[in-house]
A and B are shown apart, each in its own frame.
Chain A
Amino acid sequence: MLNRSDIHTATHLFRPARLTLARELRMLTKSDLAAQIDKTPSAVSQFESGKVRPDSSTVLRLALALNVPPGFFAFESRADFIPIETCHFRSLRSASQRNRRKLLAIGTHLSDLVGLLEQYAALPPENVPAAADSTQPLSDDDVERCAADVRRRWGLGLGPIPNVVRLLETRGIVVCPIEAGSKDVDAFSFWHVHRPYVFLVMDKRSPSRSRFDACHELGHLAIHSRVRPGEPMAERQADRFASAFLLPRESFLRECPDRLNWDHFYELKRRWRVSVAALLHRARDLGMISTATYRRAFIHLNRTGQRTHEEFEPPEETPELIAKAVEIASEEIPMDHIATDSGMPPSTFEALLGLIRLAQDSFPSGGQL
């Protein structure tokens, strides 16, 4: 990236998509940004569409408003902007557009960073089986078979998976944490430049839920590469995939009680590292408990507060892949060069690395992505 002071060169090489990226990262509308730089919203639109090139004083104001160095606007990305229509968002309907676009902006930056890191570090090759011809509608049985197929192709048997995040990373999936404060997005995933990405809220209070979310996203990657994101059917199928992947039918049926025995379900939770809510759901899907029993169980979970805070949570799982790649790259080039060459605003780079490297300790409170 150019130096912070190279404002004229940045103006000369101005890339409209970088303006959109910075604005969405800061969760600003065009009107918000226009007000901050004393321009009209249509002027911002014209800058972003490339119809008009901003002059150097406008570039400076944009840089100040968006908290990026001017050189940010001239950076040639390794990866294109990730289109929102290619991403599977968990909780899509409740998620705000601004939040989703911000997360996608982070995803675009992360993809750029991965492109840079791959020059220095050999990451595990992508190995996500296309488990279904996703142009065809899938039945529940189809989804069960797909989940079993992914397990088989990954050399897994029918037992509990001790670390889902590591499993995904060893298969070449880049897993990135989302700030725990993200209220309306649990997880999202996409393919970009031939590599799958999964973003997860790593809620320390509910690692079992994060594990399920990770498998839900794996389901999208494995069976929905050609399905329009946001389809309710696709979300249900991804849930079914996650259930079947974490709790294979063949082994779970043998262990699951057919009556509402809480001690037994918590025993299963400790063994399979799956929330009791998900265990009950699986038990109902497989006909082990009736819908009435299932409802009764959830009334109990709600009344006792366990719907949000379950007991006997498994250990938290944290991503390692990016942190390891950064460590290897930093032996070749200084960390500040990695930050510069990744094309991210410095604050974003620091916050993203903070999330990735310090996930097992605490999420950074100061850095804002």
Chain B
Amino acid sequence: MAQRPPDSFVRTFSPGLQKLLVGALARAYHAVARAHRLHPGFNERTFGFSVYEVGVHELSSIAEENADRLRVKWIEQAFRLIAGPYEVAYHKVGHSAHDDIRVSFPNNEGAVTSMVLASYLPGLEPDLSQATRVVLAHMGNPEEGLCAAYLCIPIGHDAAGRINEWGFTYEIFRKAGDGQSGSSESTGAPDFPPDEVIEQLRVTPRKRERKPRA
């Protein structure tokens, strides 16, 4: 579905915030993938579970460090980030960068029903400006780590409560085919931070406050 994101979405999910979110996800995948290599008893199921738990920790950390634009909210037992007017859920929706986000959805029965745009009627164009809930959808596996991440506005769910339709998807990260992250222009992957700018040292004559020599 080719929709423009609402203005508030663009303002809220600035490139800086996208980098923070991707950084947190990448760290979570990295940490869990490393742990997974240590024991054959780990499997795809424990991987997904662990990524969720470690991701909650990482996302909570960036919320704490960026309290001016992010905060954590627990709704019953569901983790949410609050960014501007948006409530952001966080779900794994696939295994590789080749998965199609348009048909990739969280596998949680009922847990995300409340995220779906309530005013949307199937068959009609959704009014995304009414959306206040966003899913931070990610894909990855123990071998490659984080492969892709998207910000999605859900608009439909099935009888079991699973999201089954996105009104809008926005790619914020995709691992390039050669295993290296591409540039942000081509793939949405974050750039590494540049050198900080250190201003010149300023030492100036002090004329008025000078004391006379004894």
B185 on interface, CB distance cutoff 8 Å = no
Other A-B contacts than A160-B196, A325-B203, 5 sampled, CB-CB below 8 A, are: A121-B204, A122-B205, A162-B198, A253-B30, A324-B203
Is there a chain A Cβ closer than 8 Å to B45's Cβ? no
**With contacts A162-B195, A258-B34 known, is A251 near B23, CB below 8 A?**
yes
Q: Does B206 contact A (CB under 8 A)?
A: yes
> Are A170 and B205 interface neighbours, CB within 8 A?
no
Instruction: Chain B residues near A162: list those with CB within 8 A.
Output: 195-196, 198
> Is there an interface contact between B23 and A167, defined as CB atoms closer than 8 Å?
no
User: Interface residue count for B (Cβ, 8 Å)?
Assistant: 29
Q: Hey, what's the 0/1 contact readout for B33-46 against A, CB within 8 Å counting as 1?
A: 01000000000000
Query: Which chain A positions have C-beta within 8 A of B202?
Result: 124, 170
- B76 interface residue (CB < 8 Å to A): no
Question: Once the chains bind, are B206 and A121 in contact (CB under 8 Å)?
Answer: yes
Q: Counting CB contacts under 8 A, is B194 at the interface?
A: yes
Chain A interface residue count: which class?
35 or more
Do A255 and B192 contact each other (CB < 8 Å), given the known contacts A167-B198, A337-B213?
A: yes
Write the chain B residue with the least CB distance to A163.
B198
- Selecting from A24-32, A82-90, A182-190, A328-336, the interface stretch reads A328-336
> Which of B20, B198, B205, B209 has the most chain A CB atoms inside 10 A of its CB?
B198
- B184 shortest CB reach to chain A, Å: 13
Are B30 and A159 within 8 A (Cβ)?
no
Asked if B62 lies at the interface with its beta carbon under 8 angstroms from chain A, I say yes
Asked if B100 is an interface residue, CB under 8 A from chain A, the answer is no
**A121/B203 in contact, CB under 8 A:** yes
Task: Among A158, A160, A254, A328, point to the contact of B27 (Cβ < 8 A).
Answer: A254
A-B contacts, 22 listed (Cβ < 8 Å): A119-B209, A119-B211, A120-B210, A121-B206, A122-B204, A124-B201, A124-B203, A156-B196, A159-B193, A159-B194, A159-B195, A162-B195, A166-B201, A170-B198, A170-B200, A170-B202, A250-B62, A253-B27, A255-B192, A271-B192, A287-B31, A332-B205
Set of chain A residues within 8 Å of B205, measured between Cβ atoms: 120-122, 328, 331-332
Which residues in B have their C-beta under 8 angstroms from that of A255? 192
Verify if B153 is at the interface (C-beta below 8 Å from A). Answer: no
In the complex, the chain A residue whose C-beta lies closest to that of B194 is A159
Provided the pairs A287-B31, A287-B34, A321-B203 are in contact, do residues A254 and B23 lie with their beta carbons within 8 angstroms?
yes
Residue of A nearest to B62 (CB): A250
